[in-house]
């Protein structure tokens, strides 16, 4: 699988995490933190994959590792987002409530 395909898959997963955090997490510092960490990871991964494609397509080069670090930052934002949602009290939906 090419690095471009992986980049598109991670972008889709990132979008799902950010939508879940937006829907479930309370407003405040935690949501902004998850958003900024996700933005940072996506920017680093985009720079790394662009450099990989246009400058240095070697495995183990600087561009490759920039992409890997960006993906790890995106994973950290997903983990922080999941923990934020886990800590949030979610009102249960009942079929009998009108």
| Per-residue pLDDT, 2 | 60
Using alpha carbons, list the distances in angstroms from residue 25 to 6, 35, 36, 59.
Answer: 27, 12, 15, 38
Residue 1 or residue 83, greater confidence: 83
Between CA 12 and CA 97 the distance in angstroms is 34
Of all residues in the chain, what percent carry a pLDDT higher than 70? 82
Closest among 69, 4, 80, 85 to 37, alpha carbons compared: 80
pLDDT tens digits, 38-80 = 889 989 988 998 898 898 888 888 888 998 899 899 889 888 8
Cα maximum dimension of the chain: 60
Q: Where are the domains of the chain?
A: 3-87
At residue 5 the predicted structure's pLDDT band, cuts being 50, 70 and 90, is low
């Amino acid at each position: 699988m090419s690095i471009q395909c992986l980049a598109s898959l991670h972008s889709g997963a990132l979008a799902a995490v950010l939508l879940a955090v937006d829907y479930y997490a309370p407003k405040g510092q935690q949501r902004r933190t998850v958003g900024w960490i996700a933005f940072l990871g996506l920017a680093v991964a985009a720079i790394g994959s662009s450099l990989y494609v246009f400058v240095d397509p070697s495995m183990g080069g600087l561009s490759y590792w920039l992409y890997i670090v960006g993906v790890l930052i995106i994973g950290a934002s997903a983990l922080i987002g999941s923990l934020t949602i886990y800590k949030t009290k979610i009102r249960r939906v009942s079929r009998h409530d009108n």
